[in-house]
């Protein structure tokens, strides 16, 4: 049984003339991080909404094919059970904050409250997560008055407190500066270490190269390519399809074209460093 699987999934929004997702097949394994990339309007958020069970229940429209989450077809899941299995961090951190709670602590507790978790357990879980994410200093603040980076960390805290096994994270760093971005990736790394299965939409391609086990490229609703990050990014032809490629992958490709290929195709800085040092020591030994 695969952990999550899409079988020939197509979806069309109400009144749309074209499918937003077209015959998608994929299987996801537990504990891996999947990077979802592709140009704007390609269907990445639609894909996330589908996994989260918002399609078609919330958006309407026509869904065909099957989506299995932990072996059970998504239409057979109770929505509350799905909510405690899959956490969703939305593309826009402003929509994530409820707007009805006066402190960050209460905001983080909200999802657990909705699930009917005991008060004591809520306090325990929220206290743990604010420590984990280093936001203890914010717990008394008004959630509506946070900076973009703080909001995003609170959004993560709310989801992590729910303790879901699967996380769908849609462009978490698009509004953040480099420091805010690296804080968020530190959290994502931590979640991966904890064995969560993560679907991450992210335009910052170097970070996808570094953190993703597998990469899915979506263009005009189609899954045009997928595989391990190295497999996907060693195809520099993707550039012609509007897909960004890590700078290091371009360097690896240039080395290959110069007749000086690296032993393995590097897509991250540290992989390239290894290869360069290896080449250096081979030269010295000759
Ligand atoms: N609620 C909706 N109703 C109708 N069409 C929609 C709706 N949401 C998205 N679409 C359309 O579906 C297609 C895919 O959009 P989607 O938001 O999934 O793309 P995306 O890859 O997330 O883009 P971005 O990188 O800009 O976030 C687009 O053509 C978009 O216009
Ligand atoms: Mg989107």
For the stretch 129-144, pLDDT in tens is 999 888 999 999 999 9
Q: Which 3 state secondary structure label does DSSP give 198? A: strand
| pLDDT of 284 above 70 | no
Nearest CA to ligand 1 atom 3: 13
Q: Residue 268 pLDDT more than 70?
A: yes
Q: Which residues line ligand 1 (CB under 6 A)?
A: 13, 16, 20, 40-46, 59, 91
- Sign (positive/negative) of CA torsion 189, 70, 130, 110? positive
pLDDT recorded at residue 56: 87
> In angstroms, what is the span from residue 184 Cα to ligand 1's centroid?
24
Mean pLDDT, rounded, of the chain:
92
Q: Can you tell me the mean pLDDT for 73-95?
A: 86
pLDDT in tens, 20-62: 999 999 999 999 999 999 999 999 999 999 999 999 888 999 9
What is each CA distance from 19 to 10, 101, 222, 286, in whole angstroms? 7, 38, 9, 58
Helix (H, G, I), strand (E, B) or coil at 232: helix
Ligand at minimal distance from the CA of 43 is 1
DSSP state, residue 197:
E
For ligand 1, atom 18: residue with the closest CA: 43
CATH topology of domain 4-235: Rossmann fold (3.40.50)
**Taking the domains of the chain in order of start, what are their residue ranges?**
4-235, 246-286
Among the ranges given (95-104, 166-175, 234-243), the one the predictor scored with the smallest mean pLDDT: 95-104
């Amino acid at each position: 049984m695969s952990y999550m699987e899409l079988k020939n999934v197509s979806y069309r929004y109400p009144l749309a003339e074209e499918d937003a997702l077209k015959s998608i097949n994929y299987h996801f394994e537990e504990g891996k991080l999947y990077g979802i990339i592709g140009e704007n309007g390609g269907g990445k958020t639609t894909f996330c909404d589908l996994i989260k069970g918002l399609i078609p229940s919330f958006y309407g429209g026509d869904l065909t094919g099957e989506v299995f989450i932990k072996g059970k077809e998504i239409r057979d899941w109770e929505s509350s059970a799905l909510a405690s299995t899959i956490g969703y961090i939305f593309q826009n951190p402003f929509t994530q904050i409820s707007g009805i709670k006066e402190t960050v602590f209460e905001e983080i507790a909200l999802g657990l409250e909705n699930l009917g978790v005991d008060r004591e357990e809520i306090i325990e879980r929220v206290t743990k997560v604010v420590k984990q994410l280093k936001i203890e200093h914010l717990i008394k603040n008004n959630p509506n008055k946070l900076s973009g980076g703080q909001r995003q960390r609170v959004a993560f805290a709310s989801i992590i407190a729910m303790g879901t096994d699967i996380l769908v994270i849609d462009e978490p760093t698009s509004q953040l500066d480099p420091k805010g971005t690296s804080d968020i990736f530190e959290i994502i790394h931590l979640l991966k270490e904890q064995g969560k299965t993560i679907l991450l939409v992210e335009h910052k391609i170097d970070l996808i190269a570094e953190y993703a086990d597998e990469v899915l490229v979506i263009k005009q609703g189609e899954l045009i390519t997928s595989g391990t990050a190295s497999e996907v990014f060693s195809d520099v032809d993707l550039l012609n399809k509007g897909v960004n490629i890590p700078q290091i992958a371009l360097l690896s490709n240039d080395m290959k074209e110069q007749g000086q290929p690296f032993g393995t195709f590097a897509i991250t800085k540290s992989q390239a460093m290894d290869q360069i040092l290896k080449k250096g020591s081979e030269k010295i030994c000759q």
